[in-house]
Copies of this chain bind each other. A is one copy, B any other.
Amino acid sequence: MALRAGGRALRLLPGRLRAPAARLGSRGAAEAQEDAEVNTRKKTFTEVQTERLEQAERTVLIKCPSRLNEKKLLQYLSSHGKINSHFFFENRGIHALIEFSEKSSVASLQDVVGIPKAVEHHVVPFKSRLFTFTLKNPVAKTAEETPVHLSPQSHIPVNELIQKLHKADSISSQMYILLNEYQLTEENIKLRFLACSLVQDFARAYFPDSTVKPFGSSVNTFGKLGCDVDMFLDFRDAQEHAAKMKKGPFEMEYQMKRLPSERLATQKILSVIGDCLDNFGPGCVSIQKILNARCPLVKFAHQPTGFQCDLSVSNSIAIRSSELLYIYGTLDPRVRALVFSLRCWARVHGLTNSIPGTWITNFSLTMMVMFFLQKRSPPIIPTLDQLKELADEKDKHIIGGYDCSFVSDLSKINPTKNTETLDELLCDFFEYFGNFDFRKNSLNLRRGKEVNKPESSPLYIWNPFEQDLNISKNVNQPQLEKFVAMARESAWILQKEDRTQRMINKEPWGLAALLIPFGKSNTNKMRRTKGMGSETIRSLLDSLKLSNASNLQKAVGK
């Protein structure tokens, strides 16, 4: 825990929200000016992606002994080129991520790295950017070899979080503490892009123009430490390149395997890359090919980075969704703090689940928060229609007949005039959805308006891009009812609690009070016998819920 706490100390709360723009490594004098220009504004989603992908290509991962002389290791590696950044982390042993300044340094290092000797085992001689570092003559531990500082790659458990929240001075602060503990760190993001880049090495072996890019939570600013890495294989650049090459008196084409459908091509490519990862990829285990899904994918565990990965082939709409969330998450610091707090709250109360089912998904919940923020007065974030109005020619994206255009340049979006605190927003969120007429209305984020439900799904949230789809079609009536009940109870707790008294009593207060399953005592075990018994509290809560029961049933459409 000491290590974790140490890792956090450097990060300031609101400053972190602009991290992608603020943490540029300088690469060369030539690029410095351009970088400086870009740094003065918030980067676009594409700029961040491109930069991080390029960084990842200059990066290697080294498994180290548990005690080592960090300085000597870096000195040794520096003989292959300047190191831009590095960090250590724990994952089945100590690992070092080393980002060189130049891609050529990786090749230079690879040139002197050996193939393990085959004494008792034989190896598949695929040369990746994953190395193992050992001391040739392991001597007795000297003073020089000290444990290195380790960057945390997972978040603290909820019970530890609750302890931390106690010391805050407002619900707002509590929400930023939660955000800071749960959000992806700079180091974790680098590691995610490295995982993609290592898979890209496999894809580029056969498709040199292809790219493997992360999408979803790894890049939409709403990812939590420990979440899966969704990545996709992109051939689009290659195709654009090919299209412009057809000139000259003759036509010369590659002979290529032809298949009756794009889906079949996707399946075959994913299948072979899955086999390559399985058979050649060091630390790629538990490969599962799910090729008959609507969106064919290969799941695998990537042991060197510690990530569970999902590899699919370019899904344009998923990428637009990632960028939309990136924009919303980057526009105002309150957005992510509210989403992270509500996701944690929903998880504690069993409203979301990592297993697919009738639960509300994280994506649906996030969209509900976005909708809520569009509805504030004045709005905290713009509607999707407003973002589309700001789009210029290069922002135009028509995908499968759907207009998925919206502005990519954040500086074109006027900052909100709304000054509400997160304390207010959290409480109002619960109240807003505790009283929402789900029976009649749906959430339309394009227009930022409640509109009549087009069909009878209990919860209807318009897919922002494929507008004839409901992103929360999976949610059933009992789950929706549970959500509404929890929202109401949470609103009630926040409104009724005597914060001063709770702080004196060392009882969880504010956000912390909402992160303890209702029905359990909100006080710790020691205190329980002193105050009211947990059963007493429970029956009190139940009576309060009962008084709301008829309203509830109306609201959710029974």
Contacts and interface: CB of A to CB of B under 8 A. Distances in A.
A262 interface: yes
A539 interface: no
B275 A272 contact: yes
Contacts of A111: 245
Contacts of A122: 258-262, 264-265
A115 B238 contact: yes
A124 B255 CA distance: 10
A48 to B, nearest CB: 27
Contacts of A281: 257
A262 B118 contact: yes
Interface string A113-128: 1111010111111111
Nearest to A263: B122
Contact of A254 (B72, B127, B206, B207): B127
Given A124-B268, A275-B272, A257 B245 contact: no
B257 A124 contact: yes
Contact of A251 (B118, B134, B235, B258): B134
A208 B260 CA distance: 32
Please report whether the interface of chain A is mostly helix, strand, loop or mixed according to DSSP.
mixed
Contact of A123 (B76, B209, B265): B265
Number of copies of this protein chain within its complex = 2
Given A113-B245, A126-B206, A205-B205, A282 B268 contact: no
Interface in A118-149: 118, 120-128, 130-136
Interface string A242-282: 11011011111111111111101100110110011001111
A526 interface: no
A259 B255 CA distance: 36
A73 interface: yes
A112 interface: yes
Contact of A250 (B133, B208, B268, B275): B133
A184 B243 CA distance: 41
A71 to B, nearest CB: 13
B124 A259 contact: yes
Contacts of A258: 116, 121-123
A130 B275 contact: no
A122 B239 CA distance: 12
Nearest to A62: B252
A333 interface: no
Interface residues of A, number: 71
Nearest to A303: B255
A124 B202 CA distance: 15
Interface string A272-302: 1001100111110000000000000000000
A453 interface: no
- The listed residue with most B CB atoms (<10 A of its CB), out of A114, A261, A271, A283, is A114
A114 to B, nearest CB: 5
A510 interface: no
A118 B253 CA distance: 12
B269 A124 contact: yes
A118 B282 CA distance: 35
A252 B112 contact: yes
A63 interface: yes
B206 A135 contact: no
Please name the 3 residue pairs, one residue from A and one from B, whose CB atoms are nearest each other, closest first. Answer: A205-B205, A115-B242, A255-B282
Interface of A: 62-63, 72-73, 76, 109, 111-116, 118, 120-128, 130-136, 202, 205-209, 235, 238-239, 242-243, 245-246, 248-262, 264-265, 268-269, 271-272, 275-276, 279-283, 304
Given A125-B235, A136-B251, 20 more contacts: A63-B255, A113-B253, A114-B252, A115-B239, A116-B254, A120-B260, A121-B260, A123-B257, A124-B256, A125-B239, A125-B242, A125-B254, A127-B208, A132-B254, A132-B255, A202-B206, A205-B206, A256-B282, A257-B279, A269-B279
25 contacts: A62-B252, A73-B250, A113-B253, A114-B242, A114-B254, A115-B253, A120-B260, A121-B259, A122-B258, A122-B260, A122-B262, A123-B257, A125-B209, A126-B207, A126-B254, A130-B255, A131-B253, A255-B304, A257-B282, A268-B279, A269-B279, A269-B280, A271-B275, A272-B279, A276-B276
